[in-house]
Amino acid sequence: MSPIFASPPIQQIDSIARALNVELYVLRLDLVHPLISGNKWYKLKYNLEAAKRENIDTILTFGGAYSNHIYATAAAGNLFGFKTIGVIRGEETLPLNPTLEFATSQGMQLIYIDRQTYRLRNSSTLHQELYARFGKVFIIPEGGCNLNGVKGCTEIISPDIEFDIACIACGTGTTLAGVALSLNDRRRVIGFSVLRGDFLKHDIESLLRQYQDSKSISWDLICNYHFGGYAKVNDELLRFAREFEREHDIPLDYVYTAKMFYGVMDLVKEGYFDGRRVLLIHTGGLQGNVKKQAGMPVPQE
Ligand SMILES: *Cc1c(COP(=O)(O)O)cnc(C)c1O
């Protein structure tokens, strides 16, 4: 399924980091495909292959109204000949926002479930109801967070890329888990959680255990650059993202990558990465910026 995807370019960013004895490189996953960008493709890849192997022609998945995963699943389904159903958290709002408008344009059928029921999105009770209603569908969890997703993410960093520490923004931690599994022991990956709290650590440990229980894996999660929680922003973050784009010609999304890049730059100044070659993984997500520019309300968790 891969040939239509470009291999991600690496861009060195020249900044104050140089003067502080740190080399920064950006792995531009945001450029692998115009519609299925960033880490979402890697998380979908083996799920779509599994669906095909099982002869299931419909993908069903879950997400919020601004979800990058919903957007990418709709586009990938359209591209690879799957029907797609998006189960969206909360009530329908018309007109559809740009994310859901796009999903619909790719042929995705949208259904809405209330927030209470949405909490059951990983339960077999809800899945049984969905099978009863839609027949044979291949269910991908919210955010592509399953072992197929982890497997795809082991392919993000090709072995010939040289670096000491990779940095990545984390929502479910699936991408971090895959990247961590792909590294040899001289290298390390650090996740920057975009969620408040540190429960994500346990989620990541559990994913890694399910995937492979033997090898010791070196990873870390930094939990103090969430800016108030999922999809919360402040002026400082928005200003940082704007200035970063102007200086390096790399756009950042406000939900994930801006927070990670901000955190990295902050830690560079603190001397945290002294003497290291750091690879920042740009996971895409730029479709979601539309709402911020249009001044539309930010989704609440
Ligand atoms: C979904 C997403 C993430 C989070 O990936 P996880 O595997 O859920 O941790 C990071 N960055 C962007 C841009 C995303 O869209």
What tens digit of pLDDT does each residue of 104-130 get?
999 999 999 999 999 999 999 999 999
pLDDT at 56 over 60: yes
Q: Is the CB of 175 under 6 A from ligand 1?
A: yes
Q: In whole numbers, what is the pLDDT of the chain averaged over residues?
A: 93
pLDDT at 291 over 80: no
pLDDT at 301: 38
| Ligand 1 center to 43 CA (angstroms) | 10
Q: Is the CB of 97 under 6 A from ligand 1?
A: no
pLDDT at 166: 98
- Per-residue confidence at 15, pLDDT binned at 50, 70, 90? confident
46-55: pLDDT as tens digits = 999 999 999 9
**Mutation pick for ligand 1 pocket among 28, 31, 68 (CB with most ligand atoms within 8 Å):** 68
Full-model pTM:
0.94
- Per-residue confidence at 184, pLDDT binned at 50, 70, 90? confident
pLDDT at 7: 87
Least confident of 162-166, 167-171, 293-297: 293-297
Q: Is the CB of 39 under 6 A from ligand 1?
A: yes
Residue type, 13: I
Peptide bond between residue 9 and the one before it cis (omega within 30 degrees of 0): no
pLDDT at 299: 46
Q: Is the CB of 287 under 6 A from ligand 1?
A: no
pLDDT at 50: 98
* Domains of the chain, earliest start first: 10-35+156-293 (3.40.50.1100), 40-144 (3.40.50.1100)
Average the pLDDT over 168-189 and give the result.
94
| Ligand 1 center to 134 CA (angstroms) | 28
Q: Is the CB of 284 under 6 A from ligand 1?
A: yes
